[in-house]
Amino acid sequence: MTELDFERRKKPESHLNMTPLIDMVFLLLIFFVLSSHFVSSRGFNIKLPESKQAPSQKQDKNIVFIRENGEIFLNDTMVSISNLARSLAASINKTGSRMVVIKADEKVDLGLAVKVMDAAKQAEAQNLVIATQANDGKN
d(CA 18, CA 25): 11
**42 assigned to some structural domain:** no
d(CA 88, CA 60): 13
pLDDT surpasses 60 at 102 = yes
One domain, residues 23 and 83: no
Q: Could you read off the pLDDT of 40-80 as tens digits, one per residue?
A: 555 566 666 666 665 555 555 788 888 888 889 888 888 98
pTM equals 0.55
Quickly state the pLDDT bin for 133 (edges 50, 70, 90): confident
d(CA 108, CA 81): 14
- pLDDT (0 to 100) of residue 52: 67
What does 40-53 look like in DSSP terms, one character per residue?
Answer: -PPP----PPEETT
Domains of the chain: total: 2
For residue 74, the domain's CATH number is: 3.30.420.270
The domain in which residue 14 lies consists of 3-35
Quickly state the pLDDT bin for 127 (edges 50, 70, 90): confident
